[in-house]
Amino acid sequence: MDAKDRMILSIIQEDSTFSVKEISEKIGLTFTPTYERIKQLEKQGIIEKYVGLLNREKLGLNIVVYCNVRLKEQSKKVLETFEKNIMQHDEVQEIISLSGEYDYMLKIIAKDINSYNDFTVNVISNIPSIGQYHSSIVLHEVKKSTKFKIDLG
């Protein structure tokens, strides 16, 4: 990957709606080599997919909660079963396996505190392998980004 590829990645992660022509103008290449570079970055899996970022608050999703989960045991089967179960719920935006005090951190988005409470009562607390969970409600998102720092050098 060279500097032009990194420039392409930087542009695309800022705004994936730019056309190949616009990207080619920004990086100083013609259309065809820019197009081929983008296709190669997609083929290599560096560009995984293109998505639209939605404003959750305008959709009425006003609560973000980080829920730390400790399982009763950490056998491979229990971990896989928990992951398979929790991944089915659209409220859970991220699932992160951790070292340390907790086994997982879940990022959960809900309409309001009552919706989150319903989710914990009807989903989280009913997963048999969960030994304990602890919720931290986000008061304010100071920085929210999907960009990776890419060294253009």
Dihedrals phi, psi of 93, to nearest 5 degrees: -90, -35
Q: DSSP character for 60?
A: T
Beta bridge partners of 123: none
Beta bridge partners of 95: 106
Judged against a pLDDT cut of 80, whether residue 17 lies above it is answered with yes
CA distance 152 to 111: 40
Query: Nearest CA to 98 among 108, 106, 90?
Result: 106
Model confidence at 152, pLDDT cuts 50, 70, 90, reads confident
Query: Nearest CA to 5 among 49, 42, 30, 41?
Result: 41
CA distance 43 to 94: 25
Q: Hey, what domains does the chain have and what are their CATH numbers?
A: 3-43 (1.10.10.10), 57-137 (3.30.70.920)
Model confidence at 12, pLDDT cuts 50, 70, 90, reads very high
Q: What is the pLDDT of residues 121-150, one digit of tens each?
A: 999 999 999 999 999 999 999 999 899 999
Model confidence at 151, pLDDT cuts 50, 70, 90, reads confident
Residue 116, pLDDT score:
97
pTM over 0.75: yes
